[in-house]
């Protein structure tokens, strides 16, 4: 059983931010910033790509609720909401989870940098659209 399934089953303790029949949100142990939270489905899926679209949609509804709760009560200025999907993207726990990382200022202990590349956009589009 994966570590998040163990948490969901109550075999490993966690700090619960939100819970309903199908979803759980807990404080991330690493606390990249103050209030760093993980939202996950109770049903095991390895990652977002493995979820049926309707369940992925419900997950994002819960992310919206939890992010607003954090935004309202922690007095942050914004947040990064992200998912690492598969090892190549940095996923270490293979159970779908969304990170909500509250932001207090531009120097918070997290760095997300979008670099620029000059790919042929028509070629990219044709490949994606098949």
Question: What residues are labeled active site?
Answer: 97
Q: Is 69 exposed, middle or buried (0-12, 13-18, 19+ CB in 10 A)?
A: middle
Q: Binding string to ligand 5GP for residues 9 to 38, with x set by CB under 6 A, is what?
A: ---x-x-----------xxxxx-------x
Determine which residue in the list 18, 91, 103, 108 makes contact with ligand 5GP, applying CB under 6 A: 91
Phi, psi angle pair for 68, to nearest 5° = -65, -35
What residues contact 74, with CB distance under 8 A and at least 6 apart? 34, 35, 102
Residue 46 is a binding residue for ligand 5GP (CB under 6 A): no
Per CB under 6 A, 110 contacts ligand 5GP = no
Buried (b) or exposed (e) across 25-39, using 16+ Cβ within 10 A? bbebeeeebebbbbb
51 is a site residue for Zn ion (CB under 5 A) = no
Number of residues that bind ligand 5GP (CB under 6 A): 14
Shortest separation between residue 27's beta carbon and ligand 5GP, angstroms: 6
């Amino acid at each position: 059983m994966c570590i998040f399934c163990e948490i969901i089953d109550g075999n490993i303790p966690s700090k619960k931010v939100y819970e309903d029949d199908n979803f759980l949100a807990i404080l991330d142990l690493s606390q990249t910033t103050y209030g760093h939270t993980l939202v996950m489905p109770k049903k095991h899926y390895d990652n977002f790509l493995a979820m049926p679209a309707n369940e992925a949609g419900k997950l994002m509804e819960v992310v919206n609720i939890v992010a607003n709760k954090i935004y309202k009560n922690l007095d942050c200025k914004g947040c990064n909401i992200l998912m690492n999907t598969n090892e190549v993207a940095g996923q270490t726990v293979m159970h779908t989870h969304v990170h909500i990382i509250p932001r207090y200022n531009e120097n918070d202990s997290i760095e997300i940098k979008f670099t620029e590349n000059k790919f042929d956009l028509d070629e990219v589009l044709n490949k994606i659209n098949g």
